[in-house]
Amino acid sequence: MTVLDTRAHVAARPQEPGPARHPRTRTYGMCPPEHFDVTYAINPWMRPGVDVDLDRAMTQWQVLRETYRSLGHRVEELPAQPGQPDMVFAANGALVVRDRAYGARFRHPERHAEAAAHATWLETLGLDVVEPQHVNEGEGDFLTLGSMILGGTGFRTTLDAHVEAAQLLDRPVVSLELVDPRFYHLDVALGVLDDGNGEAPADIAYLPQAFSRHSQRTLAELFPDALRCTMDDALAFGLNLVSDGQRVVLPTAARDLTAALEGRGYTPVPVDLSELLKGGGSIKCCTMEMHA
């Protein structure tokens, strides 16, 4: 039997246009970096004693906040607390789906006090806040899609927390194992481009090398057309992005990813958050989404 080599035929076919991209209005939670500093090291990016330009950090954060507002999104602000320099990374404080918030239980003692501050604030917004029994760091390790939640584990969030979140939020959680300490949270190894809650299917970008082999297989099976990010862009925190389904806010340094997004029908919105990168966080870290 002759096996037909179809490679030339495939290459000759015109590329089909991707799905139309449509933005959806979102509500985000943010916390100003009024007390931002690097006084301890709980991830490979932190260097205690590094000079932090607080005015520059605040200006960059304000640009991010106003970028969201200019795109038509709503921003709720969590008051900063003295002695909590990492509160600016608001995504870590909870996972919010509809009217329920699954609270955070931080792994490192330096951040323990943040959990209560987030819970109190979320309650003032009328949300049902559930105190967790297991270690988890909110949207740092939980990324919500229309049909499932992607859960990261390996450094900050336990598998038991994945089970707990699935039960409390009534959504399946797909566990993904992180293996590179530079990508210690899921939201620095994977970015949600389209959550699949609109007209287009769910779409993601990720760095395969940040995940164990079995998790790479899981991602390839669930998202065969996902955008694979380069290591250089991932190290620039390019995957720590926020998308409304069409406009993608991402770090200015992620140039290859910016070009790739344009090729997939997205509109990149570059923002410089380089001062906050000294604490090991960028755009998504500063942004908690209140998922409808």
pLDDT digits (tens, 9 = 90+) for 183-236: 999 999 999 999 998 778 999 999 999 999 999 999 999 999 999 999 999 999
Q: With H, G, I as helix, E, B as strand and everything else as coil, classify residue 143.
A: strand
pLDDT value at residue 19: 75
Element (H, E) at 248: strand 247-251
Q: Count the helix, strand and coil residues of the chain and give each as a percent rounded to the nearest 5.
A: 35, 20, 45
pTM comes to 0.92
Domain-embedded: residue 6: no
Whether the pLDDT of residue 56 is over 50: the answer is yes
CATH of the domain at 184: 3.75.10.10
Could you tell me how far CA 283 lies from the centroid of its own chain?
8
Whether the pLDDT of residue 4 is over 70: the answer is no
Q: Report DSSP state, residue 15.
A: P
Closest CA to 210 of 190, 180, 184: 180
> Which has the minimum average pLDDT: 10-14, 84-88, 209-213?
10-14
pLDDT value at residue 192: 98
CA 274 to CA 252: how far, in whole Å?
9
Closest CA to 145 of 118, 172, 125, 127: 172
Tokens matching residue 175: 């566990």
- Quickly tell me which residue has 């996972």 as its tokens: 95
CA atoms within a 13 Å half-sphere pointing along the CA-CB vector of 119: 15
- Quickly tell me which residue has 């520059």 as its tokens: 56
Domain-embedded: residue 43: yes
Q: In this structure, what are the phi and psi dihedrals at residue 184, rounded to the nearest 5 degrees?
A: -80, -20
CA quadruple 242, 245, 248, 254: dihedral sign: positive
Task: Provide the domain limits for residue 40.
Answer: 21-291
Between the two ends of the chain, the Cα-to-Cα distance in Å is: 55
Domain-embedded: residue 84: yes
| CB 264, CB 227: distance < 8 Å | yes
pLDDT value at residue 16: 52
Domain-embedded: residue 189: yes
Tokens matching residue 199: 């007209």
Q: Which of the following is catalytic: 73, 118, 162, 285?
A: 285
Tokens matching residue 202: 């769910």
Instruction: Answer yes or no: 108 catalytic.
Output: no
pLDDT-derived band at 15, boundaries 50, 70, 90 = very low
Percent of the chain with pLDDT over 70: 94
Domain-embedded: residue 201: yes
pLDDT digits (tens, 9 = 90+) for 117-163: 999 999 999 999 999 999 999 999 999 999 999 999 999 999 999 99
Classify burial at 88, counting beta carbons within 10 Å of its beta carbon; exposed 0-12, middle 13-18, buried 19 or more: buried
Contacts of 170 by beta carbon, 8 Å cutoff, 6+ apart: none
Q: Which of the following is catalytic: 185, 229, 286, 291?
A: 185
Q: How many domains does the chain divide into?
A: 1
Bridge partners of residue 291, in order along the sequence? 97
| CB 83, CB 35: distance < 8 Å | yes
Domain-embedded: residue 10: no
Domain-embedded: residue 85: yes
Domain-embedded: residue 8: no
